[in-house]
Each structure stands twice: as structure tokens, then as C-alpha cells.
A and B are shown apart, each in its own frame.
Chain A
Amino acid sequence: MTAPAPDPSTTHREHEDPPALLFWPAALLGAAIVAYGVLRWAPWDSRSIDLGTYVRWTVGLAVVHDLVFAPIVGLIGYAIARLVPRTYKATVQGAAIVAGIVILFSIPFVRGWGRNSNTSALPRNYAEGLTIILVLIGVVTIGLLIRDHLRARADRAEEVGT
């Protein structure tokens, strides 16, 4: 298969509404389900939560993602894109993605925020576990970087040869 030839008439897409017959019934149904969930939450919560708690952990979480987390990720990505040589860029980006997500996930475990008197809960040394994973990611990354290096050298040799 080959990619279709670029044709300005089809490649430039003005905003296009979804098919109305599909969209509007689904939008109504979806909105009804959303309203159902929102309205049922508080009355069922045994701790009688207040509006602030609701908002903080739903809208607040999305705001923190979009305005804090995403820009930080963007800055890291920008730094990698600017600082890492082209040959190694893809590998470093991939390694940063995997390592970053694993670190993010493991924070509550490593910090032991949930530890309590129950010794069968959170029984592991999570800092050690995270270190092991990061070392493994590092080993794989080094292997890929060596591959990148050899490939780039082979490409250069080819260019010189021609």
C-alpha cells in the first residue's frame, strides 16, 4: 500500500461536523448518562462530600493535567528535542517516555504514602523495585543507542562511498 498522493482539495480539512443522525442521539444519551453519574455520586457517598471535594478531584485534576503536568512534559520533550543529536533522538525520547511513566506511577509506592500497620500491604521495597526497572530501561536504551550509532556510521560510510 502507498500513501495517497497529496491532493489539496482533500488534504485541507475544514472543520466538519460528525454525521448528525449518529451524533445527536449519542450526545443526548451521553449527556443523560453524565448527568446520572454526577447526580448520583453525592447522595450515595457515605461521607457526605461537599462541592469543593467534587470539583477538586475532577475538574481540578484535569486543570492540573493541562496546565501543570502537560507543560512540564512539554518542556522536557522540548529539551530532549533541542539537545539530543538527531541520531539518538528517537531512542532518548522513547526511553524518557517509558521511564517517566514508570516513575510517575511508582511515586505513591516508593514514598510509602499508603503504608499502615498492616504488614501484608505494600510488602516490598519499592525504591529498589523502581531502581531495578530503571536500570533495565537503561540497559535496553544503551543497546539501542549503540544500534543508532552503528547505523548512522554505516549511513555515513555509504554516503562517502557513493
Chain B
Amino acid sequence: MQRTRRFPSKLHDERTAALLGIALGVTFGICFLTGLYSHYQQNQDDALFVIPAGPVGLYRFTQGLHVATGIATVPLLLAKLWVVLPGFYQWPPVRSIAHAVERAMLLPLVAGSLFLLFSGVGNIALWRPWRFDFTTGHYWVAWVTMGALVTHVAAKLFVVRRALRDEDPIDGSPAPTEVGVETDVVGDEGGAAVGDTRPTDREPERSEPDDERVLVGVGDGGLSRRGFLTAIGAASGVLTVATVGQTFSPLDSISVLAPRSPSVGPQGVPVNRTAAQARVTQTAVDPAYRMLVTTSTGLERSFSVDELRQLPWTVEDLPLACVEGWSSDATWGGVSIIDLAREMGLDEPSEVIVRSLQEGRRFTSSRVNRSQSRSPKSLLALDLGDEPLHIDHGFPVRLIVPNRPGVLQTKWIDRVEITA
């Protein structure tokens, strides 16, 4: 009863929590699966499967979906936490061992969910006020959150079923049964407030008619459940439209909050790490530049830019797809890995490692697996559009491979190691 006064809104109910819970289950599932794929991309060891070169836009799609889904989840999570907040203050705090376990798992669930969305949004906004490594933290906390979610779903499955069964899905307003037991079924975190029965659950000092719509004072006349869920859905929709243009270019012009624009950057393509940031502004334009190619068969040969331009030339339209969720179409010209291997006297490359002039940090080299290195679309690119690469795009030579995160499309390449 006291809870009803402290949380007067009629929206703190089981059905609202259940509907939001289902939506969150779907969005977290999408983010987890696409996230696993991205993680595997960045930590390829060919143990599970060898990532193929096609469909060329697969990574662009999965990572665009990952970030867009995460953004759309922000309103859902805030709504869910608000709906179930009364459960946080329930008394007694635990009622059985199972209830204690269930509630204990809410800490990793709530903290993990907030962490994932907060760090994810911060990361695409390039705002990283934390000291941990984003990729590592985001990945492992995703496991923590999913583990907690497994327990949570098992604990709440029957509640969800009951909530969806008990009420008229057509009517947006809470049914009398529901509101009368509001404190009992506050949803996610909640069990029953002990001893509450329907009549005493209401505020007896109010002499209002026995109508759920005027049951509680300040909640009176406000949003119905349907209205509330519509508002949350609208917030998700607004955030999606306002950002998804960073990967879905038809919406670029109206995505006013997108962290990137697919056409803004040197040569009309965005950049994640500039030459200045990578400290290659001197070395990349060194007139003495040569690209050293070695093979597992013991051959070694170096190419100047002009010599590379004499090799068989390939032009491909391939997306540049960043782990941060933006992507951009571009036309690249260069030497395919296959052609370079043939130039070195190899029939077929089985694996290729490219190394950058860039020093220090991670991602200064990357490995192209046997499937992708044999794709005729996998390039050591020298041109973007009709021009030589801008230095921020990796002049003189960069890697461009289909279905691959941008962070692995190594720039400023000066060494190529081909395994036969």
C-alpha cells in the first residue's frame, strides 16, 4: 500500500514490464550475436570457421545493425528500469532462496545492461571517460549481462506468460485485476508485498470510484500503457532515424545526430584514424618508400609505388565498415592479393599478413585468412575513386578486403608476408 503511494503510476505493472522485457530480449540478443561476430572478426583464429569474403557487405550489415540496435535499446532499457523500480524497494527484500538468487542476478543484469549501452554510446561519440579498454570491457561485460539474462529469463518466463495471458491485449488501459495487485506484480524485480490484498492495496483515504483509471492520485489521467509504450517506441524510432544514416546513406541527410556521415571525409569517405594521429605523416610520403613482399617459400622482393602500378590492376566497389557502426561505399583500385602472389611466383596464397608503417598500437598489422586472401576482390589498394589514396586513407597502400571491419583494413602498408 505504501508502495502504491510512492510509485503511484499505474504503469509499474507486470504486463508493461513483460512487453518491454520481450523487446529487450530481442534487442540484446541481436546485439550479442552481432557483437560475437565482430569479436570473432577481430580475433580470427579460424578455430570456429574461416570468415569468408562474401557477402561483401556482411560485416557492414551486422555491425551497422549492432550499433543501431544498441541505440534503439536505450529508451527500452530506461523504460524497463523505470517500470520495475518499485521492486528495488520491495520488503522483505528476499522471500526464498530462489528469490534471493534471482535478485542477486539483477546486479550483473542491470549494471551490465547500463554499462553496455553507456559505453557503446560513449564509444561511438568518441567520448571515453573510462580507463579500461573499450573493446575488451564491452565484450566481457556482454558475457556478464547475458549470463545474468539467462537466469532472469528463467525466473520470469512464467511471469511473462501470466502477464500476457491475463489481460486484454486490445485495451491499452490496465485491467482491474492488474492494477488491484499492482504492488504484487510490479514486474521485474518484484514479488508480492506481503499481506497486501486488493482492497487495502488502494489508498483507502481516497473515496474515488472503483475504476482503475482513477485508482491513484497523481497517476490519474496520464498515459495508458499503450501510450507509454508508444512514447518509448517513438523515442527509439527518433534515435534510430537520427543516427542510422551513418551506415544507411539514404537517411544521411536527416540523421542529424549521427556520429559520422558516409560522405564526409577525405575523398568523400570518413576516416577513423588520421595519418597525424597514427604519426605516419613523414614516413608515408617518404620518396624512398618501397613495399617489401616476402613469401613462405623464401622469396623477397620490394616494390615502389610505380612498380605496383605496373601490376595487373583491379577495381572494386567495397564498403569501408567501421566497428563503430558507420560505413561508406567506395571504389578502390589496386593490386589483388592473388595477383601479387602470382607476381611472387605462387599459385595461390593461403594466408597473408600485412604490416603498417604505423608503430606501437594494436592493429598495426593484420592477417588475411585463406578464404579472404583468395578472393579476387581482396586488394592492396592504391586508389580511392580516381585518385591515389589520401594519406588519411592509407597512402601509399592499404588493405581492402570484403566482409571485414575497418580496423583490420590496415593502412600505410610497407610489408606483406604471403604464406603459400
Q: How long is the Cα–Cα vector from A86 to B217 in the complex, in angstroms?
A: 11
A124-162, CB < 8 A from B: 124, 126, 128-130, 132-133, 137
A-contacting 9-mer, from B178-186, B310-318, B338-346: B178-186
List chain A residues, Cβ under 8 A from B141.
37, 41, 58
Shortest CB–CB separation between residue A77 and chain B, in angstroms?
7
SS class, residues of chain B in contact with chain A = helix
Q: Is the CB of A37 within 8 A of B150?
A: no
A101 at the interface (CB under 8 A from B): yes
Chain B contributes a number of interface residues (CB within 8 A of A) equal to 114
A-contacting 9-mer, from B102-110, B282-290, B405-413: B102-110
Q: Is the CB of B151 within 8 A of A46?
A: no
B388 at the interface (CB under 8 A from A): no
Shortest CB–CB separation between residue B7 and chain A, in angstroms?
8
Chain A contributes a number of interface residues (CB within 8 A of B) equal to 92
Closest to B75 in A: A101
Contact pick for B147, options A22, A37, A73, A120, CB 8 Å: A37
Q: How long is the Cα–Cα vector from A18 to B74 in the complex, in angstroms?
A: 28
Q: How long is the Cα–Cα vector from A47 to B148 in the complex, in angstroms?
A: 26
B212-256, CB < 8 A from A: 218-224, 227-228, 230-232, 234-235, 238-239, 242, 256
Q: Is the CB of A1 within 8 A of B168?
A: yes
Q: Is the CB of B198 within 8 A of A11?
A: yes
List chain A residues, Cβ under 8 A from B131.
47, 49, 53
B420 at the interface (CB under 8 A from A): no
B301 at the interface (CB under 8 A from A): no
List chain B residues, Cβ under 8 A from A11.
177, 180-181, 198
Q: Is the CB of A45 within 8 A of B192?
A: no
Q: Is the CB of B242 within 8 A of A102?
A: yes
B53-73, CB < 8 A from A: 71
A-contacting 9-mer, from B23-31, B259-267, B329-337: B259-267
A59 at the interface (CB under 8 A from B): yes
Contact pick for A27, options B114, B143, B151, B227, CB 8 Å: B151
Q: Is the CB of A15 within 8 A of B96?
A: yes
Shortest CB–CB separation between residue B267 and chain A, in angstroms?
10
Contact pick for A33, options B147, B171, B180, CB 8 Å: B147
Q: Is the CB of A101 within 8 A of B127?
A: no
Whether A115 touches B126, Cβ cut-off 8 Å, given contacts A4-B177, A45-B132, is yes
Contact pick for A94, options B9, B118, B234, B274, CB 8 Å: B234
SS class, residues of chain A in contact with chain B = helix
Q: Is the CB of B239 within 8 A of A101?
A: yes
List chain A residues, Cβ under 8 A from B159.
18
Closest to A80 in B: B222
Q: Is the CB of A32 within 8 A of B154?
A: no
B272 at the interface (CB under 8 A from A): yes
Q: How long is the Cα–Cα vector from A113 to B124 in the complex, in angstroms?
A: 11
Q: Is the CB of B151 within 8 A of A17?
A: no
A101-119, CB < 8 A from B: 101-102, 104-106, 108-109, 113-119
A-contacting 9-mer, from B77-85, B349-357, B366-374: B77-85
Whether A3 touches B176, Cβ cut-off 8 Å, given contacts A47-B131, A82-B218, is yes
B415 at the interface (CB under 8 A from A): no
Contact with A along B1-18 (1 / 0, CB 8 A): 000000011000000000
Q: Is the CB of B266 within 8 A of A120?
A: yes
Whether A44 touches B132, Cβ cut-off 8 Å, given contacts A14-B192, A122-B125, is no
B352-385, CB < 8 A from A: 362
Q: Is the CB of B105 within 8 A of A34?
A: yes
Shortest CB–CB separation between residue B398 and chain A, in angstroms?
16
List chain A residues, Cβ under 8 A from B198.
6, 8, 11-12
Q: Is the CB of A3 within 8 A of B184?
A: no
Closest to B74 in A: A105
Contact pick for A121, options B9, B126, B130, B136, CB 8 Å: B126
B153 at the interface (CB under 8 A from A): yes
Interface hub of B9, B185, B257, B264 (most chain A Cβ within 10 A): B257
Beyond A32-B147, A33-B144, A114-B122, 9 additional pairs, beta carbon < 8 A: A3-B177, A14-B194, A26-B154, A27-B105, A40-B143, A62-B111, A65-B110, A97-B232, A101-B239
Closest 3 CB pairs of A and B: A33-B147, A114-B126, A129-B256
Show 17 A/B contacts (Cβ-Cβ < 8 Å), sorted by A. Answer: A13-B184, A16-B191, A26-B155, A27-B101, A30-B148, A33-B150, A49-B137, A86-B221, A87-B221, A94-B231, A97-B79, A120-B266, A123-B265, A126-B256, A128-B256, A129-B257, A130-B257
| Chain B residues engaging chain A, CB cutoff 8 angstroms | 8-9, 71, 74-75, 78-79, 81-82, 85, 88, 95-96, 98-99, 101-102, 105, 107-108, 110-112, 114-115, 118-119, 121-122, 125-133, 136-137, 140-159, 166-171, 175-177, 180-181, 184-185, 191-192, 194, 196-198, 218-224, 227-228, 230-232, 234-235, 238-239, 242, 256-261, 264-266, 270-274, 276-277, 362, 392
